[in-house]
Structure 1
Amino acid sequence: MKPNFIIIDYKFNLIRCELWSKSGRIRFEKQDRLSYGEFPSMPVIYINPYQLWFFYNELKCSKTYRKRFSQYLKSLNKIVVIKVDPPKTEALDYHWGAMTSQTIWECIELDYIMSWLSTLGGAFSALGDYKIESAEIAGKISIHQMKLAMRIGDPITIARCKLYLSISLIQKNLFKAARMLIIEQYRFALTQKESNRALLNMCLGIWNKMRYMKKLHKTGKTLLDFVNIPPPTNLIIERGSNCG
């Protein structure tokens, strides 16, 4: 029979442990509960979580410690209970706290920058239907957004940024590259556990825009041909002065 001991945590979950003194292997098996008459007859060792951590590492790494503890369990000829109690004072992990704080602030700043880029990119994208220079700038902004989204690690935002980039490609008449991006993101949206309806609709909307712009491009026309050009400003002023 291998030496056994039981660990009871804060929530009274029971873990039965078997110790192999030679190999150093420790087998853990979760146990629902102890029988009513079993617990009082067992020797109990009270330790806190930090002591439990050191205890486990010594068992795992030290052959001598493991052998001594195994001999101790055999001498008792009983299953030992290790009861984990909360420590009187909690140790503060300043290093982990600093890492967490830095990560949180970085996410806040990235989200703030992403909002600004979305506003700026939307403005240039709207102008990109009429000016190729604006479409070029909107595409560069989309690439910057995609890099930020990769740092955040949000796949949905990355897909949206790629769709923004596809709009810039459409405005520059690069329909083949835009088509590949749109299809890629549409397939990605379908593979999600819960299909992202907004992303799917976005793909369909940009796809229809691409079809329209491609048809328009074949006729040799642009959107400017359908815009009503207002009269000169000086003419409006002259008419206003006459009415006065």
Structure 2
Amino acid sequence: MTILICISDFAKHQEFLEIDNNNNIITVPRKSLWRRVKSLRASNQSNGGDYAQIDNSARTLRRLSIEIDGINAFYLVRELHLFTQFRMQLSTNPALRDADILWLQLRPPKKEVIDYKWNRILSHTLWERIEVEYLMSWLSTLGGGYSALGEQFTRCAEVAGKISLRQLHIGLRVGDPFLQARCKLYYSISLIQTGRLRQAKYIIREQYKFARKQKEVDGRLVKMCQGIWLRLQYEYGMRLKSIKHSPVSYISSGDK
């Protein structure tokens, strides 16, 4: 016996399922529902069923309507999908013999189910994210101050670089690639201030390629790369100018 099942939720959205003669369960599109009902009626009529006197041209459905809460409906549909024996018992139920469709009307449950375990996991993750953002804002403020002083004092530039690396470790823990890219750019500024221009060049190029290859280009990250690249070009220009005016030039170990 073939049976049609309708699941109607609180918003009147309806999903139709069919358990066929082979006890398989499939989804029936709404636009082909009436054609499927007529086919089943014709099959019952040819088998001498109770539908012999039903006019197939009349667009009426004989249904067995049952109210069920959403939680029980979820487990019912899951059991139907998983277990052949359960589908067989439902499709051979005598109560459905004179019905075209089993109509399951969902209603709110008397008592809501709260997933406390998932709630604890979600709360911990959310709180961790808030603390990370709070820590990153403090480190960004501190690193920005040291970076500004790094224009005059090499020691401050080195401290700013260490702060950027600490931020990068946090970004790796969070798993945010865009945050990691920004931290690497912060570190490249420290490299420029301490004269390691070649290392900074490779980092800036890598982050610029990363920013451009994303489906949604991060405009802020691209502008950061472009701005730091201009600073790098300026430092290269100043270095070339100093080499031209110096009788003896030396290359720092960082650029070998």
TM-score range with shorter-chain normalisation?
0.7 to 0.9
The answer for the alignment partner of 1:146 in structure 2 is 168
Paired AA for residue 9 in structure 1: D
The answer on whether the counterparts of 1:21 and 1:63 sit within 8 Å (CA) in structure 2 is no
Contact map agreement 1:21 1:67 (CA 8 A) in 2: no
The one-character-per-residue Cα deviations of 1:84-127 (angstroms, maximum 9, x if unpaired) are 11112212221122112111211111111001100111122222
- Paired residue secondary structure (2:205): helix
Gaps of 5+ in 1: 222-244
Amino acid at match of 2:169: K
Distance 2:175 2:60 in 1: 50
* Mapped pair 1:4 → 2:25: no
Question: After alignment, is 57-66 or 104-113 more displaced?
Answer: 57-66
Deviates more, 1:193-202 or 1:118-127: 193-202
CA–CA distance in structure 1, aligned partners of residues 19 and 13 of structure 2:
19
Matched residue count: 219
**Residue equivalent to 2:209:** 187
Identity of aligned residues (%): 37
> Aligned ranges for residues 27-106 of structure 1 at < 5 Å?
27-29=26-28, 31=30, 38=60, 41-72=62-93, 75-106=97-128
| CA RMSD, Structure 1 to Structure 2 (Å) | 2.9
Aligned to 2:234: 212
Give the equivalent residue in structure 1 for 2:219.
197
> One-letter code of the match for 1:26?
I
CA deviation after TM superposition for structure 1 residue 81, in Å: 1.1
TM-score when normalising by structure 2? 0.73
Greater displacement, 137-146 / 100-109: 137-146
What are structure 2's unaligned runs of at least 5 residues? Answer: 35-57, 245-256
TM-score relative to the length of structure 1: 0.77
The 2-side partners of 1:144 and 1:154 are apart by: 14
Between 1:90-99 and 1:73-82, the stretch displaced more is 73-82
Q: For each residue in 1:15-52, what CA deviation from the matched residue of structure 2 results, as whole angstroms up to 9, or x when unmatched?
A: 11122575x6532245379889645x311121111101
Equivalent of 1:173, from 187, 190, 195? 195
Cα distance in 1 between the residues matched to 2:65 and 2:2? 19
Q: Distance in 2 between matches of 1:55 and 1:206?
A: 60
Contact 2:63 2:99 in 1 (8 A): no
> In the aligned structure 1, how far is the partner of 2:29 from the partner of 2:172?
39
**8 Å CA contact 2:150, 2:156 repeated in 1:** yes
Per the alignment, residue 120 of structure 1 pairs with: 142
Aligned equivalents of 2:177 and 2:16: distance in 1? 41
Match status 1:13 vs 2:10: no
Aligned with 1:90: secondary structure?
coil
Give the Cα–Cα distance (whole angstroms) in 2 for the partners of residues 94 and 12 of structure 1.
30
Q: Secondary structure at the match of 2:86?
A: helix
Compute the displacement of 1:185 (Å). 2.2
Deviation at 1:210, TM superposition (A): 0.8
Q: Which amino acid aligns with 1:144?
A: R
Which residue type is aligned with residue 76 of structure 2? F
User: What's the offset of the Cα at 1:192?
Assistant: 4.2
Distance 1:161 1:89 in 2: 48
Contact 1:8–1:15 (CA under 8 A) maintained in structure 2: yes
The Cα of 1:205 is off from its aligned counterpart by 1.3
